[in-house]
Chains A and B, each alone.
Chain A
Amino acid sequence: MNRIAFAAALLASAAPLAAETHRIEAGEGAAARLQEALILAQPGDVIELGEGRIALTDGLSLDVDGVTLRGAGMDKSVLDFTGQQGAGEGLLVTSDNVTLHGFGIENPKGDGIKSKGADNIIYNSIRVEWTGGPKATNGAYGIYPVESTGVLVTRSKVIGASDAGIYVGQSRDITVRGNLVEFNVAGIEIENSRNALVENNIATHNTGGLLVFDLPGLPVMNGGNVILRENVVKDNDTPNFAPPGNIVASVRRGTGVLVMANDGVLIENNAFEGNATAHIMVIAYTQPYEDARYNPYARNVIVGPNAFGRGGDDPQLDGKEMLLEAFGGALPPVLWDGIVEDGNGLMIAEGVTGWTLNLSKPGQSLAEAQPGPLMLTPLESWQFPEVGAPAELEARLK
């Protein structure tokens, strides 16, 4: 955010009395009225959606700083994109200090809500849903902040995304708290991002629950400093319905947490249950790549204390029968590929059990795996930085 924008934000927050509220009721011409209000809004204004459904044929967009778009509730004020004919998402936000609150988005043709280069954004009590259930023809991402600093996604719900329900990409200073993600390919995905706190979410009936990825060839890389804490990751049992070609199409049904590459991930105090492949999987990036800036290793990944229930009992892996037999009917909770860059790979707390593929370099064929139990010396303690969205976002929620 440049200095002038920052000054404008300060002014906007210092002078709330000047802000206006524009109310949009459903009915004749509502889509055009809403888009016009989004265009003509001044910083600090509130655009209020009445109860009811608004049908849209085109994507909406907001490019004014400091605007609040607020509905009567995620099931009461609904933007219906079933008949969408254009644009890549339902709502596109490209301005800073925006608050989205209390409305639903249904059946967008592409992504649900995308915010790009939109610093300090709040998604609060938003629902994005593809109402026909999991389908490859559903849009990719439900809630999709990207290239942003300061992101808070809370009390929201995403159902049916053919990629990730909540996807935060190429961003910093992120909190994803208290959301429900179900029947998506990936419930929540933090990709090529730093300083992310993912806590108190429920990820259930996805293909994979919580994903932390770092991918090559992108403008922003070196993802890390991610905390996954106090989430319920349960029964992620939906067959993968991602369109082939996408990285999440390779996620195995029944994956609880998947960490791929990244520097610094802490997984603690979560409850895992019913993830048939693995509650936690930690791996290096698997594909060939040409990008000198990229580090494919999973580094400094700490699995602290977690509650591990039933899981690993129907792994979607080659040699499943043999593996189950070797491990006595169910695989232990943590699956690691064994690939270490420099003595800083996977670390575990006392009592965490797992198994490793005992591979040695990124991209190595799974055929060369030599599965065996995880033999790591448990950590007695660890240091991890405090991460998450800036305090001003938390303050704005209140």
Chain B
Amino acid sequence: MRPARALLAAAVLALGGAMAHGTVLEPPPVNDTAIAGAAFPKTLSEFGFFQDGRAQDPAARVHAYALNTPLWSDGAEKLRFIYLPEGARLTADGEGLLQFPVGAAIIKTFAFGEGAERRLIETRVLLHRAEGWVALPYRWNAEQTEATLALAGGRIDLTTPAGEAISYAIPNKNQCKTCHSKDGAVIPIGPKARNLSVKWMGEMLKAGRLDRLPPGAATMPVWAGYTDQSPAEPFARAYLDVNCAHCHQPGGGASNSGLDLRWEQSDPHAIGIMKRPVAAGRGAGGHDFSVLPGQPDASILLYRMDSAEPGIAMPELGKASVDKDGVAVVRRWIAEMQR
């Protein structure tokens, strides 16, 4: 409770100061102690990432961003932000993951519904502490006034944009790590230079919040721009990288499968072509290969993408319904593949 009260006191002081000077109200700064300290803050508001949480209006030094090809999560709208402490900046590392200074945070809010109907479901934060990244899930209340720490995750019934009634799963803290893990350490997944727009990186560069625009930036396709005329391969490979490769890569959660779906992987067997299953169980669906060129309906990879049944469905987490668009693109990719 003490940090909250301190925050309130700080806000009151700031308010008093602003009134005294008759200037525009400065938003309270983000709480660097909450990010870098050892505790798991009980509420999202303790961080102060937002001037207005419900509106997802970011505080100073909290930068909204988008990904060219995003991770699909039952069709949720995702609001993504990066917080960088004062004077700190991101460092580019080729086309890969941007390097974050200690004290930085990545914030992602999941919402369903449009306009006034929009309902925030959960906000996940990744905090870069001195000992490494920490992932925490926060669940929004019905009144949309606050999100509270949900260490054990939870479930909520809702209807997806596709009109499906689902039981939506908020991951528990360990499940955050299931995806955000490589060689046992928690890492961010999304903000890779190749999957960010040149426009955004240019703005960050200009604002002094990014060191340079690296080669290979923005090379992943913009998923929303896909049409039947688009080449299937880059979209399919981008989709598999973003939706599957955090586990399906060496050092990832599904490394023992031998399937490596990273964008940069060029070995056909590693990405599943003519690869036999190892521990798929009934997830194999009676098929012999992860990807059988020309035959999407005999490919385990597509079978599992196209299922919402636990034990069969891939991804195993963060999915209660099938991404029809994703399935269509991957289907086309396999169908067009030379036999």
Contacts and interface: CB of A to CB of B under 8 A. Distances in A.
A246 B172 contact: no
A167 B281 CA distance: 12
Interface residues of A, number: 54
A169 B279 contact: yes
A217 B169 contact: no
- The A interface is mostly helix, strand or loop, or mixed, namely loop
A61 interface: yes
Contacts of B269: 217, 290-291
A117 B151 contact: no
Interface string B288-316: 10000000000010000000011100001
B276 A139 contact: no
Interface in B84-118: none
B286 A245 contact: yes
A85 B282 contact: no
A247 B152 contact: no
Interface in A68-127: 84-88, 92, 94, 108-111, 116-117
Contact of A147 (B155, B256, B288, B316): B256
A36 B172 CA distance: 9
A116 B253 contact: yes
A63 B171 CA distance: 14
B288 A245 contact: yes
Contact of A141 (B276, B279, B286, B309): B279
A39 interface: yes
Contacts of A86: 169, 310, 316-317, 320
Contacts of A170: 256
B277 A169 contact: no
Interface string B176-187: 011001001000
A59 to B, nearest CB: 8
Contacts of B151: 35-36, 39-40
Contacts of A287: 276
A137 interface: yes
A140 interface: yes
Contact of B316 (A87, A94, A138, A291): A87
B316 A110 contact: yes
Contacts of B320: 85-86
A109 B276 contact: no
A397 interface: no
B173 interface: yes
Which of the listed residues A108, A139, A243, A245 has the most CB atoms from chain B within 10 Å of its own CB? A245
A47 interface: no
B135 to A, nearest CB: 11
A303 interface: no
Nearest to A171: B256
Given A36-B152, A110-B281, A218 B258 contact: yes
Contacts of B177: 63, 94
B284 interface: yes
A116 B316 CA distance: 16
Given A61-B175, A85-B320, A92-B178, A35 B284 contact: no
B216 interface: no
A361 to B, nearest CB: 20
Interface string B302-339: 00000001110000110010000000000000000000
B279 A219 contact: no
Nearest to A87: B316
A146 B274 CA distance: 23
Contact of B153 (A58, A108, A137, A141): A58
A40 B177 CA distance: 14
A35 B316 contact: no
B3 interface: no
Contacts of A162: 281-282
A244 interface: yes
A152 interface: no
Contacts of A163: 279, 281
Interface in B244-261: 250, 253, 255-256, 258
Contact of A169 (B153, B256, B286, B309): B256
Nearest to B316: A88
B278 interface: yes
A38 interface: yes
A10 interface: no
A32 interface: yes
Nearest to A217: B258
B285 A109 contact: no
B54 interface: no
A58 B311 contact: no
A245 B256 contact: no
A40 B311 CA distance: 27
A244 B178 contact: no
Contacts of B275: 217
A323 interface: no
B285 A243 contact: yes
B18 interface: no
B317 A87 contact: yes
Contacts of B173: 39
A38 B174 contact: yes
Given A85-B320, A146-B256, A218-B278, A245 B155 contact: no
B167 interface: yes
Contacts of A290: 269, 274
Given A116-B256, A244-B286, A287-B276, A39 B281 contact: no
A321 to B, nearest CB: 30
Contacts of B276: 215, 217, 245, 247, 287
Q: Which interface residue of B178, B256, B279, B288 has the most chain A CB atoms within 10 A?
A: B279
B63 interface: no
A118 to B, nearest CB: 10
Interface of B: 151-155, 167, 169, 172-175, 177-178, 181, 184, 250, 253, 255-256, 258, 269, 274-288, 300, 309-311, 316-317, 320
6 contacts: A86-B320, A88-B311, A137-B282, A162-B281, A218-B256, A245-B288
Given A86-B317, A244-B284, A244-B286, 13 more contacts: A86-B310, A94-B181, A110-B283, A110-B310, A117-B184, A140-B279, A140-B281, A146-B279, A169-B256, A215-B278, A245-B284, A245-B287, A246-B277
List 4 tightest A-B contacts by C-beta distance, closest first.
A140-B281, A245-B284, A109-B311, A61-B174
